[in-house]
Structure formats: C-alpha cells, structure tokens
Chain A
Amino acid sequence: MISRRDFLQVGMAASAMVGASGFGNWAKLAAQQTLTQDQLLEFDTFGNVSLIHVTDIHAQLKPIYFREPEINLGVGDNKGEVPHVTGAEFKARYGIADGSPSAYALTYNDFSSLAKEYGKVGGLDRVATVINSIRAARPDALLLDGGDTWHGSYTCYHTEGQDMVNVMNALKPDAMTFHWEFTLGSDRVRELVEGLPFAALGQNIFDAEWDEPAETFESYKFFERGGVKIAVIGQAFPYMPIANPGWMFPEYSFGIRDERMQEMVDEVRGQGAELVVCLSHNGFDVDKKMASRVTGIDVILSGHTHDALPEPVLIGETIIIASGSNGKFVSRVDLDVRDGRMMGFRHKLIPIFSDVIEPDAEVSALIDEQRAPHEDAMSEVIGTTDEELYRRGNFNGTWDDLICDALISEREADIAMSPGVRWGPSLLPGDDITREDIWNVTSMTYGKAYRTEMTGEFIHTILEDVADNLFNPDPYYQQGGDMVRIGGMGYRIDVTKPQGDRITEMTLLKTGEAIDPAKTYNVAGWASVNEGTEGPQIWDVVESHIKKLGTVTLDPNTSVEVVQG
C-alpha cells in the first residue's frame, strides 16, 4: 500500500532530478547565449490544478538586481536546514553549477560579475508574461499574492500603494494576504482592500477590541478549478503590531493562532474542500512549525522571509513553497487532486530574467503610467558607487553600512542603528545611485531619523531583544527580520546562547573602548515603531550624505564577530 506521503516524496524526487522540467543546469545554454524564454517557462502541465505564487514584491515594478544572502543562520532544529543554507553549500545541495543562471539567481557568489552577464531580474511586466504563459496552458490557474506588495518604492510611497494596486489588478490575482500593507495606516488599508476585485484573506487578522475575526478580511475563500473544490486560507504576518508601528493600525490584532488555523482547515474540509492551500506571510520556519502542528493543509505558499527555494520542503503531508522576493521569482505548482486528496505535485521556481523574458506590453504601459508623474524626481542621479550595494543577510550589508555612515555623519552620532529589514534591491560597482535607488532601500511611512541618548546597558538590551527575535530556537518566537544593523560599534554574537547572553564585547569603534553600561551614547537611527518620533526622513539623510561623497566607497565591515556554535 503506497501512502500519500510516499506519493509526495516521489514528487519531491522528480522535482529534484529533473528540476521539475528545467530549473537546473542551464550553464551550457547560458554560455552559448541561448537561454530562452521558452526554456525558462518550459513545464510539462500536470494534474488538474495550477497555483501561481508571487510574494514580497515590495513595490518593485521594474527590473532590479537582488543579491541573495551570504549569511542566513538557522538555530535549533533548523540549523543547517533550508533556507538556512547559502552559497557553495546551497549550490551543492541543489546541484547548481558555478556561474550558471541558477547560481546567479539563488546565491550571492560572484554576484556583480554574474549580474553583468545575466542582467537584471524581475519587473511586473515580465511577471505578467510568465503568468499569461501559465494561464495559456491552464486557463483557470489560481494566482495568489503573499503580501508585502504595497510597500517599498518612491511611487508606492507617494501614491499610498495605488500604483501597486493598479498594476497587480491587471495581473488578476485571486487572493492576497498582508504585512507591510498595514503601515499605510488602517484607514488606507481598508479603502484599498474594499476596492479589490479579489479576496483579501487573513484568518489571524482580528479586531483588537473584541478579539474576534476582523470584518474587512475573510479567513478563507473557495474556488472551483479543474473540477476541484479548493479552499485558500489566508495567514497574515503574525507580529505586525510588534515588528511594525501598532499605532498605525490600532484596531487590529494578529498572532499565529494555529489552533484557529486548524479550526479553519476542519471547517473547509467539512464543507467539501478537496484541496487546502494556505497563503501565508508567516516566514519559512514558522510555516514549517505550523505545518507540523496543523493537519490537513496540502500546500503552504510561504512568504515574509524572502527565501527562494528550487524545491518544496515536505513537512508531514504538507508541501511548503518559498518564492523569493522583489519580483525576482514566480512559483508554479501543478497538483493532481483525486478522490478529494492531493496525490502528487510538480513545481518550478521560475527566475524572472528580465533580458530573457519578453515584457507584456499592456502591463509595461501601465507601469510607465504609474511612474510618469514621478519620473523626473526619481531618476535624478545623486552619486555613484564603487561598491556592490546590497542588504540581504543576517548582519550588515553594504547598503546598511552606507546608511549607518550617513546617520553618524549627518546626525553627529556615536552609534547608528538601521532596521534589519529584508527588502531593498542591490546595485553594482560603477552604477549611478538615483533617488529611486535610495528610496528602494529606505521608503516607509515611519522613516524619520531620530537622534537620542542611550546607555550602554540599553543598547545591549536592544541588541539582545532583536537577536532573540531572529535566533530564538523556537520559530514561533521569531519575527522574521534580520539583525539590527549597527554603525560605529562592534560586538560579538553567539547565536546558540539564550537571550541576555548572546551579545558580548560591545566596542565603540571610534575610540576602541568597551561600551560602558552606565555611560550615555548619542544614537541615531530610523524606523522607530514609536508614535511621535522626530527627525528628518531617512532618505533625505542618505541622499545628503551620498551627495557629499560623490562616489561611494566603503571599508569592509568586520565589526560583528559571529559564533555559530
């Protein structure tokens, strides 16, 4: 008797061997300059249902560069497990050749040289072409957006998310869940959500006052596709009021609420759902844990932690799909649903190579229309960079180093703090830095750059607190950001220790002296979750700093010593 789990494992093996019909060894093709759109999109249509997943686009309408992390540490049971595998180890695990398109798309190694060879990634007009091609093979494919869509760019900030709503609507999604969207403020979120021609889902979005499901959002929605009754259950980011300013959306409460997730799964199964899909903004490790505790979910489309995985991860009988960020990837998942059960799958993580995939003309025009009123302001060149500027990784990226330098220099601070967010495209050495580029790594609705005094002890408390949000061995206590970026101060972190013992050897770099717990330091930072934070906007601080520099050069940052145990 073959169990359902055996079926799923066969699917996994097939996915690994043939890269689900193509994500694999394109090195030769690329070397011959013959990598084509057809190869990127090649897919042997399978079963009777197709899911298309996009997530964490962060308002990147146009092609960008995006360097994947060099350091992404797993703790506890997740140590050494995907997505906490990077670089050479990642390539070995998935059989990816050095210098291949997959290596460029999925790892950080030789990023700038490969970027020059393979070009930019993403662009929603290219994403549209991919979606159209999948719909040509499977007209009733479901398109599901994992959220973090209405945040992250100059135009998104100035239109309060309208640019993204307009363009996404043209792609015709079937459902969406949420995170950064709420930082537009609850009135604006409701205004946009109420106008959406598709479902706004979140079983864990609650009314804070009454502790009951919020009216504006549905927990799940049913779809009839390929003769299959499909339930899509939404799971918004659980820690919104903690990781982001709760005062901007005080009516709402979130949380993981996995017991209610189980109730929802049981409810939709009771109503005849043959396939249960969870559209999640939990983050990958939280989704893994949730899949181990909630039974009856067939597929989790995972977002938030910006991981891109060429194969699903199987937990029990649930497959978890991670589709990257910033418009760089689209996942296609074909499913064979028979006799009320998912009996197999075929999956492909499609990298959006913007020079290979033809833009969809209609969506291109729509994107240009959103950008036109802002084009002059956005395209102004502020400086140039000699460095590869990137952010993603558990500790400081070069963009963060530049932002921290700007805070110390422009705000006359001893120490700078920059949030460990995972969004923000990369730039290559020799690139111009435009105003748009600066906004791509800084824009938010609470971007004021504060300057304050903190004792050494309190700085330590902050670092310990943020580190525990990243390195707590229980994923349910992780918030899914990276470590707060620090300028002007070095420290040592042992990720295996408990909260309170991880951070040691805090040193003020300009004097080389140990940080004194009792002494007061001038600290500049941005993205405070406190209401009433005062100071100039961070993008103005960074722009002013880059203008003075003209050309950005950075010293290698060796100020954080990481002990992995």
Chain B
Amino acid sequence: MKLNRRDALAMGLGATAVAMLPMRAFAAADEAIATFTGGAEAGSGDLTLDAPEIAENGNTVPISVSAPGAAAIAVFAAGNPTPGVATFNFGPASGSQSASTRIRLAGTQDVVAVAQMADGSFIQTAKTVKVTIGGCGG
C-alpha cells in the first residue's frame, strides 16, 4: 500500500482521472492506430509483444516487440493521455525485426503493438499491464 499522504492523494487523483477518461483514452488510441495503418484493418499474425502482467514500476515498464518480416512496428499505450509510444522502422538490411524499450503507463491498461508487414498488410496484438498500489503479498 502507498501510504504517505502525498502519494495517497496523488494515487487517488490518478485513479479518478483514469476512471473518468476511459472512452476518450481508448478513442485517442484507436485514432492513433488508424493513423498508423491508414485506416486498414489489422489482422493477427506472427507478432509478439512481451510485457509484464503486473508492472513493478509504472514509470518504467520494459516491453519488447518482434515480428519477423515486418517493415515497421508501432507501440501504443491505450490508456495514456498520449497513446503513441514509439514506431520502429526496419530497413531491408535489418538482421531481425525486434525492439525493446521502457515505457511509462498512467495506470492499468492495454499495451497494443501493430506491425506493418512487407506486403503492406497490418497485424495487431495487445496485452493488459496492471499498475497496482501493491503491498499485502502473502
């Protein structure tokens, strides 16, 4: 449990903000994804998104993406005020189409990865990352 007063208040505010904004946040993510895909429908395929189930620290969450044969992979944090996180472009000389980074998450939310394949099609995957107050573990 976060228990100093300042953290408590900050956490309370954060929770309120997230609770009030889900529709807008997801709409923003959908818009950002549509911009990346040019409106094309994203299917499923050989795209791996690796992220922790529960973040150890919401301010720096390690994630990695991989999609053999991709020209680009974009990552979105669907619940962040600005959902766009990063776009990784892979040139013809790329040894592998994978990347790792650390991202900041405002609260529990889906992290979405969308890959643009060499033929111009798109594939998508998502994973829920929980950001928790913590404490009280058995």
Spell out A's residues near B (CB within 8 Å). 208, 211, 237, 239-244, 246, 253-256, 259, 283, 304-306, 417, 419-423, 450, 452-455, 457-458, 461-462, 465-466, 468-469, 472, 474, 476-477, 479-482, 484, 499-500, 525, 527-530, 532-533
Interface residue ranges of B95-138 to A (CB < 8 Å): 100, 108, 128, 130, 132-138
Quick one: which of A255, A306, A465, A528 contacts B56, CB cutoff 8 A?
A: A255
Contact size range, B: 20 to 34
A422–B138 contact, CB under 8 A?
yes
A457 and B53 within 8 A (CB): no
CB-contact partner of B138 in A241, A305, A458, under 8 A: A305
Cβ contact within 8 Å between B132 and A259: no
* Given A500-B19, A530-B4, A476:B53 Cβ within 8 A: yes
A480 & B133 in contact (Cβ 8 Å cutoff): no
Q: Which residue of A lies closest to B60 (CB)?
A: A208
Sample of 14 A–B contacts (CB below 8 Å): A243-B137, A254-B56, A305-B138, A419-B137, A421-B138, A455-B8, A466-B136, A468-B132, A469-B136, A469-B137, A477-B53, A529-B1, A530-B2, A532-B4
| B46 interfacial by beta-carbon distance below 8 Å | no
Q: Chain A residue with minimal CB distance to B108? A: A499
Number of A-B contacts (CB under 8 A): 126
Contact A465 B53 (CB under 8 A): no
**CB–CB A421/B3 < 8 A:** no
Q: How far is the CA of A514 from the CA of B78 in the complex (A)?
A: 35
Query: Complex formed: what's the CA distance from A541 to B3 in Å?
Result: 18
Which partner residue on chain B sits nearest A237 by CB separation? B137
User: Do the beta carbons of A477 and B54 come within 8 Å of each other?
Assistant: yes
The 10 tightest CB contacts between A and B, nearest first, are A243-B137, A481-B138, A422-B138, A242-B134, A528-B3, A458-B12, A419-B136, A241-B56, A476-B53, A465-B133
Assuming the A-B contacts A255-B56, A256-B53, A455-B12, are A243 and B1 also in contact, with contact meaning beta carbons closer than 8 angstroms in the complex? no
B106 CB to nearest A CB, Å: 15
The minimal Cβ–Cβ distance linking B25 to chain A, given in whole angstroms, is 15
Q: Does B81 contact A (CB under 8 A)?
A: no
* A462 with B133, Cβ < 8 A, contacts A480-B138, A530-B7 known: yes
Q: Does A481 contact B53, Cβ atoms closer than 8 Å? A: no
Contact assessment for B12 and A450 in the assembled complex, using a CB-CB cutoff below 8 Å: no
Q: Which residues of B contact A468 (CB under 8 A)?
A: 130, 132
Whether B137 and A244, one on each chain, are in contact in the complex, defined by CB atoms closer than 8 angstroms, is yes
B7, B9, B52 — most chain A CB neighbours (10 Å): B52
Q: Does B57 count as interface, using CB distance less than 8 angstroms?
A: yes
A239-B54 CB under 8 A given contacts A306-B138, A421-B137, A500-B19? yes
In Å, the complex CA distance between A211 and B64 comes to 11
Which residues from chain B contact A476 at a C-beta distance below 8 Å? 53
CA distance A484 to B3 in the complex (A): 14
On whether A484 and B1 interact (CB within 8 A), knowing A242-B137, A255-B56, A476-B53, the answer reads: yes
Chain A residues near B54 (CB-CB < 8 A): 239, 242, 477, 479
CB neighbours (8 Å) of A479 from chain B are: 54, 136-138
- Given contacts A242-B54, A242-B132, A253-B56, whether A417 and B137 have CB atoms under 8 Å apart is no
For B137, give the chain A residue with the smallest CB separation: A243
User: Given A242-B55, A466-B1, A466-B135, 8 more contacts at CB 8 Å?
Assistant: A243-B135, A243-B136, A246-B57, A419-B135, A453-B5, A455-B9, A458-B8, A528-B1
B30 within 8 A of A: no
Given the known inter-chain contacts A530-B2, A530-B4, please indicate yes or no for A484 contacting B136, CB distance below 8 A. yes
Q: Chain A: which residue is nearest B55 at the CB level? A: A242
When distances are taken between beta carbons in the complex, the residues of chain A under 8 Å from B15 are 457, 461
Q: How near does chain B come to A478, taking the closest CB pair, in angstroms?
A: 9
Query: A423: which B residues are within 8 A, CB to CB?
Result: 138
In the bound complex, residues from chain A placing their C-beta under 8 Å from that of B62 are 211, 253
A48 to B43, CA, bound (A): 50
Name the A residues within 8 Å of B53 (CB-CB). 255-256, 474, 476-477
CB-contact partner of A465 in B3, B50, B100, B132, under 8 A: B132
Verify B138–A461 contact, CB threshold 8 A: no
| CB-based contact B136/A420 at 8 Å | yes
Asked if A481 contacts B137 (CB within 8 A), the reply is yes
Can you name the residue of chain A whose Cβ is closest to the Cβ of B2? A530
A253 to B50, CA, bound (A): 15
Give chain B nearest CB distance to A325 CB in angstroms.
Answer: 9
B11 within 8 A of A: yes
Enumerate chain A residues within 8 angstroms of B137, measured Cβ to Cβ. Answer: 237, 239-240, 242-244, 419, 421, 469, 479-481
Q: Indicate whether A528 sits within 8 Å of B135 (C-beta atoms), given known contacts A246-B57, A256-B53.
A: yes
Give B2 Cβ to nearest chain A Cβ, in Å: 6
With A458-B8, A461-B12, A469-B132: A420-B138 Cβ-Cβ less than 8 Å:
yes
In angstroms, Cα B54 to Cα A484, docked, is 19
> Which residues of the other chain, A, contact B133 by a CB distance below 8 angstroms?
461-462, 465-466
Cβ 8 A contact of A527, one of B16, B50, B136? B136
In the complex, what's the smallest C-beta–C-beta distance from A256 to chain B, in angstroms?
Answer: 6
State in angstroms the CA–CA spacing of A420 and B135 once bound together: 9
